[in-house]
Amino acid sequence: MIGAVGLGLCTFDEIPNLVQISKVFHPNPENRELYDELFREFLNIYKNNEKMYSRLNK
C-alpha cells in the first residue's frame, strides 16, 4: 500500500477503505511470559544489527 501511495494511486487516508480485515488475532494472556521473552530477544537482535543496518542504508 505504501508503494501505491508513492505512485499516486491512492492516499494513506483511503487505505482503510481498500483493505478488508478477514480475521483479528488477539494475544493469549497465558503466553505473556513467552511473548516477553521473545520480544527481549528481538530487541537484542535489533541492537546487534543496528550498525549494519545503518551502513547498508547510507
Task: List the pLDDT tens digit at each of the 58 positions of the chain.
Answer: 999 999 999 999 999 999 999 999 999 999 999 999 999 999 999 999 999 989 998 8
Cα distance between the two ends of the chain: 25
Q: How far apart are CA 41 and CA 34, in angstroms?
A: 11
The domain ranges of the chain are: 24-58
State the amino acid at position 25 in one-letter form. F
The grid coordinates of residue 3 equal 508503494
How far are the Cα atoms of 32, 35, 49 from residue 43, in angstroms, in the given order? Answer: 16, 12, 10
> What is the model's pTM?
0.54
As a whole number of Å, the CA-based R_g of the chain is 18
